[in-house]
Amino acid sequence: MAIGRGRFAPSPTGDLHLGSLVAALASSLDARHRGDDWLLRLEDIDQARAVPGAADRIVSALKLFGFVWPEPVLVQSKNLQAYENALDLLQTQGRLFVCHCGRGSYQGAYPGTCRHVGRLLPEEPRPKSGVAIRLNTQDSGTLRWQDGWQGWQQQALENDIGDFVIRRKDGFHAYQLAVVVDDGAQGITRVVRGMDLLDNTPRQLFLQRLLGLSEPEYAHLPLVVEPDGTKLSKSRSSAAVAALGPTTALRLALKLLRQPEPPTVLNNPHDLHTWAAAQWNPTVLSSVTHLHLP
């Protein structure tokens, strides 16, 4: 039987924080418990938001916290040709159009204003920047999928989201395109990530089908929040991870994930990972949307 593949794909917009640690640990334990490989990717496609040095600090922190991955880290900013190749394929399908609409020109789902007048013909040169490139979602129907922990989901993509941007006005490829191409290239079979990305899934399923890529399983984690339910600030949670140290932070992450408490004799990250992977019980996360800090 083929070995599956999971992944953790942080954006280097700051240092590793508690929410990221929880997501990394859950995805790693989920993969190890299944006997799958677990890969690391740096999603730095949005260079305008990338913080200098953050990528290296995230990688160093993950190593310090006992995470291991069997392959070199995939860095999105070094993979731009793969995204252009995907745009080529979508353009041959007649799915791409240029869009001049500003963000304030419509509300809710994109109404298709430039869908026909801006259509890019096969082999037509794409503008390098200055206009957004959108994906035509006509005839996408209602996309249904079963999330590993949040149950059955569905979205009428054209009505609920509309034609979405896959290359931005500034020339950067959009997250939706890059993540699909990367998951396909790395052979990812199961995506474990935060609830804040749940409604991105139908756009990615649609792109996978258009590009002829396999569809991984998806399992979306509850979000870590303050005790009163408010959003956890990145600065506060980053400071917490740094202050706690590897073993204490890993124990807190396991507690937040509602996993069994490790024996006190386990006092290094490697042993904690090994023990927790064997004990991994994700059923306790079913239908849970938030994890409250103690």
Pairing, β 132-135 against β 142-147: unpaired
74 and 130 inside one domain:
no
- pLDDT for 210: 98
Domain-embedded: residue 267: yes
Closest to 161 measured CA to CA, from 135, 189, 184: 135
Identify whether 176 is part of a domain. Answer: yes
98 in a domain, yes or no? Answer: yes
User: Which domain does 133 fall in, by range?
Assistant: 80-185
In a domain, 233, yes or no: yes
Alpha carbon of residue 16 to chain centroid:
15
38, β-bridge pairs: 6
* Residue 163, domain CATH: 3.40.50.620
Burial 69-104 (b: 16+ CB within 10 A, else e): beeeebebbebeebbeebbeebbeeebbbbbebeee
pLDDT computed for residue 238 by the predictor: 64
- Do 240 and 268 share a domain, yes or no? yes
230 in a structural domain? yes
- In this prediction, residue 234 carries a pLDDT of 67
Give 123's DSSP letter.
T
What Cα–Cα distance (Å) separates residue 261 from each residue in 32, 253, 272? Answer: 18, 11, 10
What is the tally of structural domains in the chain? 2
Q: Is 203 part of any domain?
A: no
Last residue of a domain, one of 132, 158, 185: 185
Which of 185, 213, 241 corresponds to the end of one domain? 185
Instruction: Show the tokens assigned to 46.
Output: 């949005």
User: Which of 185, 206, 236 represents a domain boundary (last residue)?
Assistant: 185
pLDDT score at 1: 56
Amino acid at 32: R
Are both 74 and 84 inside the same structural domain?
no
Q: Do 85 and 134 share a domain, yes or no?
A: yes
Residue position matching structure tokens 């990717």: 41
H helical segments located in the chain: 18-34, 54-64, 80-92, 157-160, 175-186, 201-211, 234-244, 246-256, 269-279
Q: How far apart are CA 124 and CA 55, in angstroms?
A: 36
Look at residue 211 in the predicted model and tell me its pLDDT. Answer: 98
| Residue 207 in domain | no
The reply to whether 89 and 179 lie within a common domain is yes
CA 49/CA 127 separation, integer angstroms: 23
The one-digit pLDDT tens for each residue of the chain (294 residues) are 578 999 999 999 999 999 999 999 999 999 999 999 999 999 999 888 899 999 999 999 999 999 999 999 999 999 999 999 999 999 999 999 999 998 788 989 999 999 999 999 999 999 999 999 999 999 999 999 999 999 999 999 999 999 999 999 999 999 999 999 999 999 999 999 999 999 999 999 999 999 999 999 999 999 998 888 888 776 667 677 878 889 999 999 999 999 999 999 999 999 999 999 999 999 999 999 999 988
Judged on CB neighbours under 10 Å (0-12, 13-18, 19+), 107 is: exposed
**Residues 116 and 21 both lie in one domain:** no
Same-domain pairing of 68 and 84: no
Any residues with CB less than 8 A from the CB of 111 and at least 6 apart, and which? 162
- Alpha-helix residue ranges (DSSP H) falling in 187-267: 201-211, 234-244, 246-256
Is there a domain that residue 202 lies in?
A: no
Contact predicate 226/232, CB 8 Å: yes
Q: What is the pTM of this model?
A: 0.94
Determine the pLDDT at residue 47.
86
